[in-house]
Structure 1
């Protein structure tokens, strides 16, 4: 572990606690108890404004839905190469690994998230290849299953994510997306395969429970 990575890991550990995910109790993550103050501390720690917020410190509703589905339906990923896009804490990646995926790659553009994913994978005794990389100009190859939790939260992100997911689907990958009703999800492109009532942090959402759907790209 490099000095830089070590300092990031120390910051993550100091701002979170290792806890069971309520809706996915098979998984433990380094989670923050509050949101706004951590946003501010993360900007201070990184030394500049405008870098990715600490998405890695929370179990987002869409990711919890995908993780729950994968654990309940392990045949979705068992023996297959899996890509977890915009992986955040790595919750979905860990669920895939626990469900018998042949390999799991977690892609993130935030070095803090990549470090958090590594810490979380170790805490759950699974192997996840966490990469700091923007993959959205490609098609996710060679992954046979592409999973994405809560990626349609803003217009710009949606405009890049959807073509990526379409290219992955066109080359034959199974594409599943978890979404708690974000405005930019093009529902007409997807088929609903599961729905859950997921507990969330009220500071991050408009309620303490969100109906979160797992969608399959048609």
Structure 2
């Protein structure tokens, strides 16, 4: 039912768009993503307007999300036995990776109900159990770790960096967009390489994902 609902929503935006199960490279994960095979065409003006007004970002696996998922699989100690919240979860890729890596509890949080539906569908697809939230600020300060992937694409979201530790003891932020990232409590751990699925032919610079860490004093 959830996948059918997502497909209907996607079809209302792009009549010929299809959701297909896509395996994520260098991971054991798979997601329901938009099928690039039948979207190799120019969008009409009306389609462009609809996409810009209500982008189906939950139907993509963005580079930062893929990088975060790979990182957690390689470094499970970040989430093992911990309570984790994935902020701006989108497709749920980071939340699912955390659950696969042994997190005690994972909450996928996104303000878009369609994204929450995508997280549910993708959790089922990967055989994991998640909790769900539409409002980060209604959550209690009870999390060990806040995961944030590809949320800083809009610079208006930068003030959120000050809020993540209000609900969790630590935060991991993956971002490929902000080149002048400066914040007194966040330090860069390393640079990761990834790309968006389906491939949007983004500039190479957006395939370089920085991973930042902050910890409550």
Question: Shorter-normalised TM-score: what interval?
Answer: 0.7 to 0.9
Q: 2:75 aligns with which of 73, 76, 87?
A: 73
Deviations 1:47-91 (A, max 9, x none): xx734x111111111111211111111111011110000001000
Q: 1:54 to 1:9 in 2, by over 3 A?
A: closer
Shift of the alpha carbon at 1:26? Answer: 1.1
SS at match of 2:141: coil
5 Å matches for 1:187-206? 189-200=185-196, 201-203=198-200, 205-206=202-203
Q: 1:208 to 1:181 in 2, by over 3 A?
A: closer
Residue 144 (structure 2) aligns with: 144
Q: 1:122 to 1:214 in 2, by over 3 A?
A: same
Shift of the alpha carbon at 1:207? Answer: 3.4
The gaps in structure 2 that reach 5 residues or longer are: 12-16
SS at match of 1:112: helix
Residue 99 (structure 1) aligns with: 101
* Alignment pair present for 1:18 and 2:21: yes
SS at match of 2:192: strand
The gaps in structure 1 that reach 5 residues or longer are: none
Q: 1:139 to 1:105 in 2, by over 3 A?
A: closer
Q: 1:95 to 1:6 in 2, by over 3 A?
A: closer
What's the TM-score, normalizing by structure 1? 0.79
Residue 180 (structure 1) aligns with: 176
Deviations 1:85-115 (A, max 9, x none): 0001000000000001001000011111111
What's the TM-score, normalizing by structure 2? 0.80
Q: 1:58 aligns with which of 51, 60, 83?
A: 60
Two-structure CA RMSD over aligned residues (Å)? 3.0
How many residue pairs align between the two structures? 203
Partner Cα distance (1:15, 1:134) in 2: 29
SS at match of 2:142: coil
